[in-house]
Structure 1
Amino acid sequence: MKQRSGPLAGIKILDMTSVIMGPYATQILASMGAEVTKIETPEGDNMRHVGPMRNPGMGHIFLHANQGKRSIVLDLKRPEAQEVVLRLVEHADVLITNVRPQALARLNLDYDSVKARNAKIIHISCCGFGQDGPYAARAAYDDLIQGATGVPWLMQRYGAKDPCYAPVTLADRVTGLHAVYAVTGALFARERSGEGQAVVVPMFEAMAQFILGDHMAGLSFDPPAGDAGYARLLTSHRRPYKTKDGYLCVLIYNDKHWRNFFDAIGEADRFTVDPRFSSHGNRAANIDEVYAEVGRIMLERTVSEWEALLDAADIPNMPMNSPQDLLDDVHLRAVGLIRESEHPTEGKLHTMGNPTSWSNTPLDPKAAPAPHLGQHSVEVLLEAGYSAAEIARLMAEDVTASSSPVQI
């Protein structure tokens, strides 16, 4: 396998995750240089089958969430496949899963089982709920966790006609970022102690922390000092402002911004004369009226006129972009986040790099393309010490499968 670069070069990760939360985390770890081996069922990760796609089993989300990884097929319902994982564990640094812990124990791949084969293993369990509470064994998906942590309630408070989910896999990706630091933090702890450990990364708790950080509000106090909800985020006027010919995102935030804004529109005295605008506290207390008034004023000019005026006044503003606009964005192109790559079977793709930059351990700008199902099964088994005859037997018994023409 190609020698990797980056801060996690040399780290070997076994990836027993699927859909988005876990694969998003392990793709980030792969982009940082880790060698990630993705363990898939014979049917493959569900996201392989979600279009659009050019070829079966290579859906768009799968392509983005699985760059830089290898794929081995193992039917983990079979004891022989469970033994393969345990042999791979012997030479791995991290095993990360989003299999429910109760099912993982039935597969003999819980922490105690893998620790018996590698005392230094870091076992990351991404699951729906913390394992010390009454929800421990419940299934969890992004929609369910968004609902359980108040996202639809917030959307309705914001102005949606009915409760609705955020149109992104918010819970999956928030929790995936928690999984990334869980891996890197546990690796750092092992460097100091020489010991591995088990880390549980639960979706419900991760999203509850995320939501309550903004919206606990008056409920922070006992007895309550008001209702839940951060008013500035919930006002229906907090949205891109309509102009004469389009929309513009503007945040007039601190006292300097407000003074500059009123100067720019020829109402310099208004900051001190109108008490609704004269301090941060007053603006927060009158946020609906404040944002509504700005919305009225923004209708007086075009987008380009406002951009010129606000830039000159040093007032933060950005265009309201679409996904297509992001692909064409000059900044994202310049920093290398948006790039083109050539997939061996899927052709030319728009792909994303890692958003961070490193002075001493730079990341490899050319990630390997997302793998076909079982593309590396033979390669991984050979590395684990299986003979050609053993691999042939495992294939004949449907314990594993390969899409690669590699000869054994």
Structure 2
Amino acid sequence: MTAVMRGIRVLEVAEHTFVPAASAVLADWGAEVIKIEHVTRGDAMRGLASTGVLDLGAGGVHVLFEHSNRGKRSLALDLSVPEGLEILYRLVEVCDVFLTNKLPRVRSSLGIEVDDIRERNPNIIYVRGSGYGDAGPDANNGGYDILGYWARSGLAAGASPADLDRLVWQPGPAYGDSIGAMTIAGGIAAALLHRERTGEAPVVDVSLLATGMWAQGAGIALAMRSGVPWGQPAADQLRNPLTNSYRTLDGRWIFLSCLQYFHYWPEMCRVLGRLELVDDERFASFEALTANCAAAIAILEEEFRSATLAEWRERLADFRGQWAPVQNAVEVVDDPQVVANGYVQETSTKDGVPFRLVAPPVRFDDQPAVPTRAPEFNEHAEEILTDLLGLDWDTVIDMKLKGVVA
């Protein structure tokens, strides 16, 4: 049972990834999501492919758009004219959640602020996502995840080694967007529960900046106490040789994270075939191992460079300490744990072209959510207008001729 949101209808006026990916999660969980797109160009994310900014690769599947729009229905509507706005308001009346990432000045000019929406449906959950929050001097400034989530929150500084002459970028496209979207989905779920129990419909607000700060929350808490910004430690500042990364013979990496490092040191010496190191006076006590961390790291670096990653996988298979191979985005999809838990799922385009997407990280009743494809532009206009709103065909055709609906 993964359709825990079945019976919930979501109305989305948003584009790009941050907020649309939130309703994509809800769609994977069974919600009905109606996506309102710009009447001529659609979601700006579609344009990354049509303008050549994004290489769709083999099969021509726009997987970035699919990632954040799977399972939705599309209606292209001109919200700048009264007829289009009235259609939106009528949809508001039959929806549980209104979701947007429009800036405050845009929401005001369009007539989709909280009061505007609540006038037509006082019980709707109003949700807004932004770069920097809905208050403050930068509330009307747009911001992508690499700005609000990564750069401004402290994450980029915390991830970049002090001796590197450039900042480390996010590890993938829509990285902060996707984490922020999951945060929004959780906020919506909590708001729906609150409405069910109290009858009150909250306003939900999530920003990329706040999400990045939460992700770095432990580091920020320590920085506020010490007055020292959190950052990557220099090599000579390390105190734990078993929480570090080590390069293998074939140029790959192993990451160790044994917080109780003296406890696991003897077993690591066994794995390395260096049992004499257990009684070495440099490493024979917690204090000695900590004081001689650099020497221990040098030994580990030499030993790990003596075998390939595949060989180390075998040698570390029964190691009780905590470790992981460093995998890339191609390798991870075939990881046995990923396969066993269904973390990647198969779907296909409208034309039947198969592709795979990462499922939402939350499983219900031991089952992964299985995504369906994203909609074609304006694909569901007629059924939304006629079946859901009860408009007759003459009215729909008239709106199409006027350009109110694509």
CA distance in 2, matches of 1:97, 1:280: 55
Alignment CA distance shift 1:363-1:120 (3 Å)? farther
Q: Does 1:398 align with 2:380?
A: no
Shift of 1:201: 1.0
Q: Describe how 1:227-306 pairs up with structure 2 within 5 A.
A: 227-229=229-231, 231=233, 240-253=245-258, 254-255=260-261, 256-268=263-275, 270=277, 273=280, 278-279=285-286, 283=290, 291-306=297-312
Over aligned residues, Cα RMSD in angstroms? 3.2
SS state of the match for residue 316, structure 2? helix
Residue 376 of structure 2 corresponds to 372
Q: 1:34 aligns with which of 31, 35, 54?
A: 31
Larger displacement relative to structure 2 (159-168 or 182-191): 159-168
Larger displacement relative to structure 2 (314-323 or 70-79): 314-323
CA distance in 2, matches of 1:150, 1:203: 12
CA distance in 1, matches of 2:5, 2:168: 39
Residue 320 of structure 2 corresponds to 314
Larger displacement relative to structure 2 (224-233 or 144-153): 224-233
Asked if structure 1 preserves the Cα contact closer than 8 Å seen for 2:282 and 2:288, the reply is no
Q: Percent identity, please.
A: 25
Larger displacement relative to structure 2 (11-20 or 351-360): 351-360
Q: Describe how 1:8-407 pairs up with structure 2 within 5 A.
A: 8-41=5-38, 42-50=40-48, 51-53=54-56, 59-145=62-148, 146-157=150-161, 159-168=163-172, 169-217=174-222, 219-221=223-225, 224=226, 226-229=228-231, 231=233, 240-253=245-258, 254-255=260-261, 256-268=263-275, 270=277, 273=280, 278-279=285-286, 283=290, 291-345=297-351, 347-359=353-365, 365=370, 367-382=371-386, 383-401=388-406
Q: List runs of 5+ in structure 1 lacking aligned partners.
A: 402-408
Structure 2 letter corresponding to 1:13: V
Asked if structure 1 preserves the Cα contact closer than 8 Å seen for 2:2 and 2:364, the reply is no
CA distance in 1, matches of 2:76, 2:284: 62
Q: How many residues align?
A: 392
CA distance in 2, matches of 1:18, 1:162: 31
Shift of 1:333: 2.7
Alignment CA distance shift 1:230-1:241 (3 Å)? closer
CA distance in 2, matches of 1:76, 1:278: 70
Structure 2 letter corresponding to 1:241: Y
CA distance in 2, matches of 1:188, 1:314: 41
CA distance in 1, matches of 2:57, 2:26: 27
Asked if structure 1 preserves the Cα contact closer than 8 Å seen for 2:131 and 2:145, the reply is no
Structure 1 letter corresponding to 2:230: A
CA distance in 2, matches of 1:111, 1:281: 62
Structure 2 letter corresponding to 1:45: D
Alignment CA distance shift 1:33-1:287 (3 Å)? farther
Structure 1 letter corresponding to 2:82: P
TM norm structure 2: 0.85
Asked if structure 2 preserves the Cα contact closer than 8 Å seen for 1:381 and 1:391, the reply is yes
TM norm structure 1: 0.85
Asked if structure 2 preserves the Cα contact closer than 8 Å seen for 1:94 and 1:123, the reply is yes
CA distance in 2, matches of 1:354, 1:369: 14
CA distance in 2, matches of 1:239, 1:264: 16
Shift of 1:389: 1.7
Alignment CA distance shift 1:337-1:194 (3 Å)? same
Alignment CA distance shift 1:300-1:379 (3 Å)? same
Larger displacement relative to structure 2 (60-69 or 266-275): 266-275
CA distance in 1, matches of 2:153, 2:382: 43
Shift of 1:120: 0.7
Asked if structure 2 preserves the Cα contact closer than 8 Å seen for 1:52 and 1:60, the reply is no
CA distance in 2, matches of 1:275, 1:126: 53
Asked if structure 2 preserves the Cα contact closer than 8 Å seen for 1:215 and 1:230, the reply is no
CA distance in 2, matches of 1:148, 1:314: 38
CA distance in 2, matches of 1:272, 1:292: 17
Larger displacement relative to structure 2 (328-337 or 123-132): 328-337
Asked if structure 2 preserves the Cα contact closer than 8 Å seen for 1:341 and 1:350, the reply is yes
Asked if structure 1 preserves the Cα contact closer than 8 Å seen for 2:348 and 2:372, the reply is no
Asked if structure 1 preserves the Cα contact closer than 8 Å seen for 2:248 and 2:254, the reply is no
Q: List runs of 5+ in structure 2 lacking aligned partners.
A: 49-53
Asked if structure 1 preserves the Cα contact closer than 8 Å seen for 2:103 and 2:130, the reply is yes
Asked if structure 2 preserves the Cα contact closer than 8 Å seen for 1:151 and 1:165, the reply is no
Asked if structure 1 preserves the Cα contact closer than 8 Å seen for 2:160 and 2:168, the reply is yes
Structure 2 letter corresponding to 1:73: A
SS state of the match for residue 5, structure 2? coil
Asked if structure 2 preserves the Cα contact closer than 8 Å seen for 1:86 and 1:117, the reply is yes
